[in-house]
Chains A and B, each alone.
Chain A
Amino acid sequence: MSTMLKQKLDQVFDEPGCDKNQAKDAKERKKGCSKQLTPGAAAGGCAFDGAKIALQPIADVAHLVHGPIACEGNSWDNRHSASSGPQIYRTGFTTDINELDVVYGGEKRLFKAVREIIEKYDPPAVFVYQTCVTALIGDDIEAVCRRASEKFGKPVIPVNAPGFAGSKNLGNKLGGEALLDYVIGTREPEYTTPYDINIIGDYNLVGELWQVKPLFDALGIRILACISGDGRYNDIACSHRARAAMMVCSKAMINIARKMEERWGIPFFEGSFYGISDMSNTLRQIARLLVARGAPDDLLVRTEKLIRVEEARANERIRAYRERLAGKRVLLITGGVKSWSVVSALQESGLEVVGTSVKKSTKEDKERIKDIMGDDAHMIDDMTPREMYAMLRDARADIMLSGGRSQFVALKARMPWLDINQERHHAYAGYEGMVELVQEIDKALFNPVWAQVRCPAPWDDAASQAKLPQERLGSPQLPAMTLATGIGLH
């Protein structure tokens, strides 16, 4: 590992903004944040994956992966970060190194690749991602990027997060470090206002930011930069002039928020767009921070007015579902901030959360869950797919909300499932998103397929077949529904 990357890791592992990290002694801290992986029983992405997730939403930049075909060829165009304009971030660029590059080094190929991109696509900047193989053979991407920046007169930014450095979460942070080292603070905005904020750690998945932005617009709050959802290189380069910042999504990008506070005095808070009360708190916090930094204090009043009317509007729409959803049990398998922010949201719609996973949650996250749920009885530390399957099959939950990877655990147990991670197709942020989430849960729970797929074939269920009234046998669907739902037709 290059000394530079090693220093970077030490820095990232010593995070004053993170209580969990600070609670450790020096020796523990050195080991890093991620749990040791178990060979043969590991799941999840690598540091490169994490860095790419964190930065790829910057929409006008060319993202170039320096490594063999696996890193980009097997993974590109697989997330739904939305852009309101440029599409180049969705183009897959990779040096696709071959055997000769491994032997002789891939730096020359990388340099030429940057040139080709600039000549053909002319993006405002190129981000270069390091990977395991090129790190192992000692390709110095920092040096190549420096040379390329000089030569082509364009920012070429090294992102040094090779996969084997650690987990996806670490990669998020290393991606953030690249922005801090090479991008943020390198340009000045055309103008500033007392209402300028940064949003840190939102990736605008399926356009979620746009469920929230109208609220900010209505209050006259300007998102100077979103790091990194629907981001633009220039906005992020200017983001050090914001008055306040909101950090979304737990601790993944806390290093950006904290260092921007250190360097440019931008105060930040950790907030969430998920759930009605969370959304309202977020708006209040932003208004408070901006007013504290000198914005006119009528902002507070306007914020409260907007919250009142928007909460009422959302609740009214959710109330329509509360009766149908009351008492339905949810198993929530996600991580980090969503382990608590979604819980409160679900409770608002009358659902009962029978379990929430805390495998990827911090100590703070867990505290919040305790606050929201009353105790820690429903926290699940590590649940194997087999256990999840058993829980669903035994009907100890009515629906599972999780990421795409565990969807089949639910579907094969013939139980409703909803995607709430990055591969999802629905947007669940803000007041609008909550209504949408409840609507989607309702849609999933009450779909007529469940009754049909749970009903055994007539020849597999001799007992119930015997009970069937003769006249129904001609119409296979009706008895199926009868058996599955337990509602008699007579």
Chain B
Amino acid sequence: MALIVEPKKSCAVNPLKMSQPLGATYAFLGLDSCVPTMHGSQGCTAFGLVLMVRHFREAIPLQTTAMNEVTTILGGLENIEQAIVNIRKRNHPRIIGLCSTGLTETKGDDVDGYLQLIRARHPELDDTAIVYVSTPDYVGAFEDGFSKAVSALVKTLVEPTPHTIPNQVNVLAGWHLTAGDIDELREIFCAFGLDAIVLPDVSGSLDGHIPDDWLGTTLGGTTLESIREMGASALTIAVGEQMRSAAMELEMRAGVPYVLFDRLTGLGPNDQLLQTLSELSGRAVPDKYRRQRSQLLDAMLDGHFFFGHVKVAIAAEPDLLWSMGNFLAEMGADLTVCITTTKSPLLSRLPTNEVVIGDLEDFERAALATGCDLLLTHSHGRQAAQRLGKPLYRIGLPLFDRLGNAHTVNIGYRGTRNLVFDIGNLLLSHAAHHQPDSWPLPASSLAVLSLPPTPDAAQPAAPACGNGSCACTE
């Protein structure tokens, strides 16, 4: 039972957190033929755009209602109207995903009302779905924004259907699943003869491929038609606690029951997933996955030596923290420092003493004070890693100093196995090397023989970093 701590600081230092509208935008980026749009000043969009571009190394379609001070005070109806009409004219998206920002929420724009007016004035917009979600910057974090956007998608677009397609399954994929993770999941479903509708599906849009033409919209992802078909699925599988509200919404609207997996990294959760799919499809677990399970067991046996009682500091959004934290704990590591961005019912159940809703200053200071030997957070942790001289394993988003972030696979037996190897190798390359003076006798023992204490007995060993062997690239 972990204690949830919120430090009483007035100044966040080295933020871990990103804003709600960015999370909502990311969810919209997983839709096909979509232009996510932030209702705010153009800087809100520019910052989000740069961050996404740096992480994915892809063109990111992202628009703004370009509010200024006067339009903010007078209300954003005209700006939203112009933005939607312009986007439709220039980019021809099927879906426009609109989210509010701190600026327009402070003023209190009635966007739902505006949209009704705009629809009435512009019949040409009838072919464009518009999904709106309220995401003030000063409330919650990235994960909350993502969660709200997926709920809004379900609420706005899913319809009850008279029929059920028995082998069709919905997958609500939390933001912490990469394009690679979603591909892996789809393959698993396929192996049981199940068709998965994944929402949102960044494996179609942000998997780094070369389209035949330049489009001003997303390049793939969940289509509007398949979202509308979600009501006909036999089951919804929600991945991540953040997807619970959308899964419940889907059940209420269309009567599709759901199963929630709070994580899919680690042995146990994947056993449960395959068991669930096997029961649903009436098929035995394919040999391929029996083999992969066996490989994971072997990897865990080979790797556990290096994880045992390693003190770990993790800073991540709640669902990713839950996923990685439990995995590391199951490998024998100690979750010494846990930092997150926003509240979640999972936090108190983490196998650690306390979870701090904080920033990377809290992370760095706590890791130093407790002597952590492994750090996990996004790329902004590189400064802390360098100062602490400890290895950093990069997780989450943004990862702007690594290639191929979309294709990392951390779920399933195969993804978990890779994780054991990747983190295990990082620990291996930072294994402590002992020196002749690693074990000095304490002054009390020497005193018995009337000898002076060893001169640098009190000095801690120099950090391993600085010779280029460490992963903290700068």
Question: Could you tell me which A residues sit within 8 Å of B by CB distance?
Answer: 1, 37-49, 64, 67-78, 87, 90-99, 101-102, 109-110, 112-117, 120, 132-133, 135-137, 162-166, 384-386, 389-390, 404-405, 408-409, 412-414, 423, 453
Contacts and interface: CB of A to CB of B under 8 A. Distances in A.
Contacts of A39: 64-66, 79-80, 82-83, 86
B46 A46 contact: yes
B53 A113 contact: no
Contacts of B138: 68-69, 97-99, 101-102, 133
Interface stretch (B11-19, B166-174, B231-239): B11-19
A75 B50 contact: yes
B19 A40 contact: no
B239 to A, nearest CB: 25
B59 A409 contact: yes
A76 B15 contact: yes
B13 A93 contact: yes
B11 A117 contact: yes
A76 B15 CA distance: 8
B94 to A, nearest CB: 16
B107 interface: yes
A164 B101 CA distance: 12
Nearest to B380: A77
A294 B211 CA distance: 62
Given A1-B69, A132-B103, A133-B106, A113 B11 contact: yes
Interface string B200-219: 00000000001101101000
Interface stretch (B37-45, B301-309, B440-448, B455-463): B37-45
B49 interface: yes
Given A45-B43, A98-B138, A69 B15 contact: yes
B116 to A, nearest CB: 18
A170 to B, nearest CB: 11
A132 B64 CA distance: 15
B37 A75 contact: no
Nearest to B82: A39
Interface string B27-41: 000000000010011
Contacts of B180: none
B41 A409 contact: no
A40 B83 contact: yes
Given A78-B400, A113-B10, A38 B82 contact: yes
Contacts of A98: 138-139
A42 B66 contact: yes
A91 B13 contact: yes
A95 B17 CA distance: 12
Contacts of A113: 10-11
A285 B57 CA distance: 41
B473 interface: no
Which 5 pairs across A and B sit closest by C-beta, in order of nearness? A46-B43, A40-B83, A40-B86, A113-B11, A112-B10
A132 B105 CA distance: 11
Contact of A385 (B136, B210, B216): B216
B98 to A, nearest CB: 11
Contact of B64 (A42, A112, A386, A405): A42
Interface residues on B, range: 35 or more
Nearest to B59: A408
A117 B136 CA distance: 26
Nearest to A37: B66
B246 interface: no
Contacts of B391: none
Contacts of B79: 39
Contacts of A102: 102, 106, 138
B67 interface: yes
Contacts of B318: none
8 contacts: A39-B82, A42-B66, A68-B19, A70-B18, A94-B12, A114-B11, A164-B41, A423-B54
Counting chain B CB atoms within 10 Å of each CB, the highest count among A43, A71, A133, A162 belongs to A133
A70 B19 contact: yes
Contacts of A116: 9-11
A114 B11 CA distance: 8
B397 to A, nearest CB: 11
Contact of A92 (B9, B14, B51, B85): B14
Contacts of B87: 40-41
A327 B28 CA distance: 44
Contacts of A96: 11-12, 15, 17
A373 B188 CA distance: 59
Contacts of B19: 68-70, 73-74
Contacts of A49: 43, 46-47
B82 A163 contact: no
Contacts of A42: 42, 45, 63-64, 66
Contacts of A109: 10
B328 interface: no
Contacts of A99: 136, 138-139
Given A45-B46, A110-B10, 4 more contacts: A40-B64, A132-B103, A386-B216, A412-B59
A405 B103 contact: no
A389 B215 CA distance: 10
A69 B12 CA distance: 9
Nearest to A5: B69
B87 to A, nearest CB: 4
Given A68-B138, A113-B11, A133 B43 contact: no
B316 interface: no
A113 B47 CA distance: 23
A414 B211 CA distance: 11
A439 to B, nearest CB: 23
Contacts of A404: 50, 53-54
A213 to B, nearest CB: 22
Contacts of B37: 40
Nearest to B63: A40
Contacts of A408: 53, 57-59
Nearest to A45: B46
Nearest to B9: A116
B324 interface: no
B66 A92 contact: no
Contacts of B10: 95, 109-110, 112-113, 115-116
B53 A405 contact: yes
A299 B266 CA distance: 71
B214 A389 contact: yes
B237 to A, nearest CB: 31
B83 A68 contact: no
B11 A386 contact: no
B137 interface: yes
A72 B51 CA distance: 12
A252 B456 CA distance: 55
A389 B212 CA distance: 11
A44 B42 contact: yes
Contacts of A412: 59, 210-211, 214
A164 B15 contact: no
Interface in B135-149: 136-139, 141
A112 B11 contact: yes
A97 B11 CA distance: 9
A248 B101 CA distance: 35
B383 interface: yes
A40 B64 CA distance: 5
A164 B103 contact: yes
A43 B41 CA distance: 11
Interface string B118-142: 0000000000000000001111010
B420 to A, nearest CB: 30
Given A405-B50, A409-B214, A69 B141 contact: yes
Given A40-B85, A44-B46, A49-B46, A70 B101 contact: yes
Contact of A74 (B11, B22, B57): B22
B416 interface: no
A164 B68 contact: yes
Among B68, B82, B383, max chain A CB count under 10 A is at: B68
Contact of A46 (B41, B48, B139, B210): B41
Contacts of A70: 18-19, 21-22, 44, 47-48, 101-102, 137
